[in-house]
Amino acid sequence: MSNNCIPLATIQNFASKDVNRIIGQIAKVLARKSPYINSIDGGTLPNVSDVVRSVVEEMAVPAASLASPVFADDTTLCGVGANPDQVGSTEYQFSLQTLRGAGPRVCVKQARTAFKGSYLQAQVSLEKTILQLINADIRYQFLIQSGVKYVVNSTTAFTSNLTGDMQQINTKFAPIVPNAPLNFATLYRIGTFLREEMLAEPFATKQGEFFQVMLSADAIESIRNDADVKEDLNYLTAGSFKLGEESISGYQFQGYRGFAFGIDQQPLRASSTDLFDANGNVKLINPIISSAVTNGFAQRRNPAWVASDMEIGFVIAGDSFKRLVPESYVGEGTFRFAPQLAMGELEWTYFRDNDCNLYGDFGQHIYQISRAIQPIRPQNVCPVLYKRCAFANAPAACA
């Protein structure tokens, strides 16, 4: 039997041990909520091909003008034909991709005297982390695969700051460094562009049709403090409209002039000193770092992310992408496999063997997230790169 199969360094004692008596219930820190998972449709990916083709039927191009269509007198049309309209389709290719993860290896000798509830809360923590990863993946795919992108810069024209077009995919940001935060006038212009030029359909709700806007809390507050927006909200509040009350009392508000706002609690950020990589993509900063705690490791904020001066938000319309999960596959004939993890399920693995785990001392959680992102109308997602202004509302000193 080998003594080097499971190095002792890989065994983590992350539970609260009962060496000294612990009083009370083990508390847990929940993962941050994210609105992105509600911004994309779902479905199932059939087991038909490694690479799947997605065909999007384009809008037909009529032979007649949409500005001034010409009609002829009906009595003059005997024997008169018509010019054919033009039709076409755009094809994308996508495939199933997987992210695998695992919890730390746990030794039963250490778990025996752990405080009741410690390992259960550790399991809950891993489950919440999986949810974080799913939301982060959706947001990153929106960023990379979107068909249009916008950079907020006050010295260049709107058309220069905007890149991409209808049914394009993997569009890059314009090679411009932002110098201003996102204001409502620019946001409204982006919404008008999506509606009129990209023919994007907003999300339909009971309160009306809205584009979803995902921004940091500071960016939403900045928009809310715009002179025109503040005046409108004060008027709505004075008139006892529910919208105005929710807008002032909460961190987020919905239903303002065709936009529904959602807070991204860990927005994508970058540094202006090292903004783009060699391929023209924004060099993102991980919002978290690993830090040693009393038992094991935990998430802590990344100082580089906190100090970064660039941020990315999203304006999203409906029918942009689909997130597909694979059909269940367990093999054929005598080629049988255990059911595969796909949705991020957390599974406890415990296997005794004659070499590495003879006494059954060790176990481990594993998970697997499998999905395919199907482009439908990539231009219906517009990432917006803007500057984070320094905090300027510090309290004034007493006289």
Predicted confidence (pLDDT) per residue in 282-296, tens digit: 999 999 999 988 877
DSSP conformational letter for 9:
G
Count of other CB atoms within 10 angstroms of residue 257? 12
- Confidence class of residue 90 from pLDDT cuts 50, 70 and 90? confident
Count of other CB atoms within 10 angstroms of residue 54? 17
Give the pLDDT of residue 253.
41
The arithmetic mean of pLDDT across residues 259-285, rounded, is: 92
d(CA 57, CA 120): 49
Alpha-carbon Rg for the chain in angstroms: 27
Mean pLDDT taken over the chain: 79
Burial 227-254 (b: 16+ CB within 10 A, else e): eebeebbeebbeeeeebbebbeeeebbb
* Tens digit of each residue's pLDDT (9 = 90 or more) over 177-216: 999 999 999 999 999 999 999 999 988 877 778 898 999 9
If one compares 350 and 87, the residue with the highest pLDDT of the two is 87
Tell me the range of 110-119, 157-166, 219-228, 262-271 where mean pLDDT is highest.
157-166
CB burial of residue 38 (10 Å; 0-12, 13-18, 19+): exposed
- Confidence class of residue 26 from pLDDT cuts 50, 70 and 90? very low
Does the reported pTM lie above 0.85? Answer: no
The percent of residues in the chain predicted with pLDDT above 70, rounded, is 77
d(CA 260, CA 255): 5
Give yes or no for residue 58 having a pLDDT over 50.
yes
Residue pair 104/295 in contact (Cβ under 8 Å)? The answer is no
- Confidence class of residue 27 from pLDDT cuts 50, 70 and 90? very low
DSSP conformational letter for 59:
P
d(CA 241, CA 169): 41
98 phi/psi in degrees, rounded to 5: -135, 140
- Confidence class of residue 346 from pLDDT cuts 50, 70 and 90? confident
Count of other CB atoms within 10 angstroms of residue 115? 18
If one compares 353 and 174, the residue with the highest pLDDT of the two is 174
The CB-side HSE value for 81 (13 A sphere, CA atoms) comes to 3
The CB-side HSE value for 189 (13 A sphere, CA atoms) comes to 14
